[in-house]
Structure 1
Amino acid sequence: MPMALKLTTATLALIAGFGLFAANAQTTTETPATTEAAAVQIQDYGIGALDAKVQIVEYASFTCPHCANFHADVYPKLKADYIDTGKVRLEYHEVYFDRYGLWAGMIARCGGEMRYIGITDMLYDTQSEWAASDDPKVVVENLKKIGRTAGMDDASMDACLKDEATANALVAHFEENFTKDGIEGTPTFLINGEKHANMTYEDLKAIIDAELAK
């Protein structure tokens, strides 16, 4: 994946709400995006014991094929061997390379922490289906189908997707962390603070076991 593109305030309204709140643009342009973003607190969600000896931060995009492959091939083993046994905590840091990825993140977060992990799993498992269309309306409907499966209603999802302040805050949060941690592609992992690129389960296991042995 290339370095993340800087998303301007002018395009964020379109990205977040795909034109649904464009009619309100005249009233929202007076409020700087940085002010809106500062007013919204973004929480990064994760799975596993908070006090696990090995803390992994995963930088990934919901539209990144390599990220989907990691979640199909490596994540189930990681979860069974280390997360479910209390040895590892995995925290998700979303990366937005495109508007579809941002919309997916907004749907995943729409149900709060309780639904986030389940929706994240569905987004990666069905990435080749929901993200396949060039028609934004089709992609939105595909994402809402995933949300419905997770128990959310259309009104709640529409409200989340039209939340410009949260969209601005999500992008600002992503760009700040992406730059701070020197991320250059996805997926990238910080394992107890040390940066690693995408890897096989065997390589990941070796790193985790070395950390556990310390």
Structure 2
Amino acid sequence: MKAFSGIALLALSLTLAACGKSEGGAKPSGESVAAVAPPAGASWSETVAETPEGYYRMGNPSAAVKLVEYGSYTCSHCRDFSTEASEEIRKLVDSGKMSFEFRTYVRDPIDISTALLARCGGKDIYYPLSEQFFTNQNAMFEKAQALGDQRYQALMSAPPAQRFGQLADALGLVEFAQQRGIAADQAKMCLADTASAEKLAKGVETANSQYQISGTPSFLLNGVLVDNAANWAALQPKLKAAGL
């Protein structure tokens, strides 16, 4: 997308991964996994907890199969995966056989603004809100294109505590979040949280160091990077081979 040339230069010095490339290899166990009943009065897909690393895990914390996605809110392949796979993932999570984590792999300031807002409502709405941000991706891109590089660079020149809030406002993301239950003052506080923004960027560095992430979406299956699985059609057979 040509109009985003300036974004790549101003992405907090992150090494940007290409959207839609994944390398590595997960070894399936070949053994069938037994279903696990959820806690009384709940479903596993509605059971979300914060992990020690600060991510949100959906499902049975002791699930035999643990699926992690490294994804970007500005990646079209990640958007497509969300559309194709979210319902299917919930079904697998509800069986108690699999847990799921979406770990934000931020690639640019728009990504960071969106990620800060997605986390702003806490663990209970993180997954529904993330999916809705993906459905809004095209509209967000249209607003970003309309800004132009000069306006974008002016926004990026603001102090760090104001930068992501101004960008989110310009892209309609604050209004989008407000319509989904995030109060304006709450959104403003989340977008001014530079410590959280730095933590998101640090998470990219950690992922690159531990797993050599080369693109989004990328997947870990029981802690091992999955080879050639950037979409649901490619990932599903590997989950079946893992016992699902």
**Separation in structure 1 between the aligned mates of residue 211 and residue 104 of structure 2, nearest angstrom:** 13
Alignment match of 1:57 (pick from 53, 63, 68): 68
Check whether the contact 1:100–1:131 (CA below 8 A) recurs between aligned residues.
Answer: no
**Residue 30 of structure 1 corresponds to which residue in structure 2?**
none
Change (3 A) 1:153 1:188: same
What number of residue pairs does the alignment pair up? 178
Change (3 A) 1:54 1:42: closer
1:150 CA drift (Å): 2.5
How high is the TM-score relative to the length of structure 2? 0.66
**Separation in structure 2 between the aligned mates of residue 199 and residue 59 of structure 1, nearest angstrom:** 11
- Matched position secondary structure for 2:107: coil
**Separation in structure 2 between the aligned mates of residue 129 and residue 51 of structure 1, nearest angstrom:** 38
1:174-206 Cα shifts (integer Å, max 9, x gaps): 221232111000000011122124344343222
Q: Which runs of 4+ in 1 moved over 6 A?
A: none
**Separation in structure 1 between the aligned mates of residue 139 and residue 96 of structure 2, nearest angstrom:** 33
Check whether the contact 1:130–1:139 (CA below 8 A) recurs between aligned residues.
Answer: no
Check whether the contact 2:113–2:168 (CA below 8 A) recurs between aligned residues.
Answer: no
- Matched position secondary structure for 1:93: strand
Check whether the contact 2:56–2:101 (CA below 8 A) recurs between aligned residues.
Answer: yes
Equivalent position amino acid for 1:7 in 2: L
Q: Does 1:178 align with 2:183?
A: no
How high is the TM-score relative to the length of structure 1? 0.74
Check whether the contact 1:56–1:192 (CA below 8 A) recurs between aligned residues.
Answer: yes
1:79-137 Cα shifts (integer Å, max 9, x gaps): 22x11222211111111111100000000111111221121111112211123322365
What stretches of structure 2 of length at least 5 have no aligned partner?
Answer: 1-7, 15-51, 153-165
Check whether the contact 2:78–2:216 (CA below 8 A) recurs between aligned residues.
Answer: yes
Identity of aligned residues (%): 26
Change (3 A) 1:200 1:166: closer
**Residue 186 of structure 2 corresponds to which residue in structure 1?**
156
